[in-house]
């Protein structure tokens, strides 16, 4: 499939049946969405290499160490208080929730987890739903064992801590990771139970945290063939790595870029497009629902993409199809053919496909004209 004009992504996952499975699990609120640093870095959160450079500079370290060892050495030089203040200052540079946070907050799920220390995800959920999410960080260990199966309110699980809740409890150094299973045993056990009951979607996450990998590995061993679906979104993955993740952790892998091309894609745009593609499988856009209702039709709040356009209206004929096409043109500034709209077999999913194709053609024409 050809790449899109907006992000140059080879959409190798578009026809993957796992995408429809993921969409169904999200639609029914079964999934946990696990957000990594790649979700917050576009909003100003420092990447691990950037944070490592800051720590090396502050501690005046000359030799090359792993990022976790650098954190240990920096903490040793600066002391706990100054070290934690430095982290809070670095993480605090992340400004407002970005497009990825807002898109994740649109998903019809109640359980979110993140390895990030910032508060952008919970702020996006609050802004999008008008509800304050329940936050569990490392200072509420015992509550990790009592997370409801189907919570009414959104929950955000801060697996590595949060600078706004308790700066003294952050998992960032080699010592922190080595002691995670004992120091935060309730968190590890709570994660294990959640991963044993719920599908998980990893977004913007490198799968480099040993504490989370341990939970994934042990839950796979204990559950054997009964492990829930786990989805990982990567970029430019080589086949051996993809096969390893599939076999070791039972991950269903989506490669948003295609093999051997990591670094040549706008990852934020690609993740946004991926989420839109998932949502497209179960949600009718608000603007299209408003048009249909304004013309006297009736649309379910969610789903119904496989319903025929004709069935949404009490009396639907060619003139009604013309009115629908005119409204869509006024809203989206595109021309779509009237004839397919009046066909008995035209579904809302098919209509959206026609709209998307018309919008892509309009964008391509504009780019050609600008060039």
Residues 276-295, mean pLDDT to the nearest whole number: 84
Judge whether residue 8 has pLDDT over 70: no
Judge whether residue 259 has pLDDT over 60: no
The pLDDT of residue 258 is 60
User: With helix as H, strand as E and coil as C, how does the chain read?
Assistant: CCCCCCCCCCCCCCCCHHHHHHHHHHHCCCCEEEECHHHHHHHCCCCHHHHHHHHHHHHCCCCCCCHHHHHHHHHHHHCHHHHHHHHHHHHCCCCCCCHHHHHHHHCCCCEEEECCCCCHHHHHHHHHHCCCCEEECCCCHHHHHHCCCCCCCCEEEECCCCCCCCCCCCCCCHHHHHCHHHHCHHHHHHHHHHHHHCCEEEECCCCCCHHHHHHHHHHHHHHHHHCCCEEEEECCCCHHHHHHHHHHHCEEEEECCCCCCCCCCCHHHHHHHHHHHHHHCCCCCHHHHHHHHHCCCCCCCCCCCCCECHHHCCCCCHHHHHHHHHHHHHHHCCCCCCHHHHCCCCEHHHHHHHHHHHHHHHHHHHHHHHC
Judge whether residue 325 has pLDDT over 60: yes
Judge whether residue 166 has pLDDT over 80: no
Position with higher pLDDT, 155 vs 209: 155
Percent of the chain with pLDDT over 90: 21
The pLDDT of residue 304 is 66
Position with higher pLDDT, 112 vs 4: 112
For residue range 218-242, list pLDDT tens digits in order: 777 777 667 889 999 988 888 898 8
């Amino acid at each position: 499939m050809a790449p899109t004009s907006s992000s140059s992504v080879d959409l190798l996952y578009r026809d993957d049946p796992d995408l429809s499975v993921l969409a169904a699990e999200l639609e029914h609120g079964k999934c946990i969405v696990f957000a990594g640093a790649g979700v917050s870095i576009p909003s100003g959160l420092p990447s691990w290499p950037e944070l490592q450079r800051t720590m090396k500079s502050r501690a005046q370290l000359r030799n090359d160490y792993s990022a976790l060892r650098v954190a240990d050495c920096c903490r040793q030089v600066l002391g706990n208080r100054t070290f934690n203040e430095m982290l809070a200052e670095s993480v605090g540079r992340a400004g407002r929730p970005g497009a990825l946070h807002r898109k994740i907050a649109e998903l019809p799920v109640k359980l979110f987890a993140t390895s990030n220390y910032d508060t952008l995800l919970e702020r996006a959920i609050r802004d999008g739903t008008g509800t304050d999410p329940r936050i569990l960080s490392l200072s509420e260990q015992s509550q990790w064992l009592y997370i409801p199966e189907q919570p009414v309110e959104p929950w955000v699980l801060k697996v590595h801590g949060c600078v706004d809740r308790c700066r003294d409890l952050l998992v960032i150094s080699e010592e922190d990771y080595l002691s995670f299973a004992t120091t935060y045993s309730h968190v590890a056990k709570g994660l294990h139970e959640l991963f044993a009951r719920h599908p998980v979607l990893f977004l913007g996450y490198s799968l480099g945290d040993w504490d989370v990998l341990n939970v994934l590995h042990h839950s796979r061993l204990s559950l054997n063939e009964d492990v829930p679906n786990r989805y990982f979104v990567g970029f430019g993955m080589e086949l051996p790595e993809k096969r390893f993740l599939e076999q070791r952790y039972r991950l269903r892998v989506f490669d948003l870029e295609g093999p051997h091309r990591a670094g040549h894609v706008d990852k934020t745009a690609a993740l946004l497009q991926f989420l839109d593609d998932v949502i497209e499988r179960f949600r009718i856009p608000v603007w299209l629902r408003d048009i249909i209702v304004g013309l006297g039709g009736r649309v379910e709040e969610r789903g119904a993409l496989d319903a025929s356009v004709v069935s949404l209206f009490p009396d639907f004929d060619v003139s009604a199809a013309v009115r629908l096409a005119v409204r869509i043109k006024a809203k989206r500034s595109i021309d779509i053919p009237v004839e397919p709209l009046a066909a008995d077999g035209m579904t809302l999913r098919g209509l959206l496909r026609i709209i998307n194709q018309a919008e892509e053609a309009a964008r391509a024409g504009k780019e050609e004209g600008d060039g």
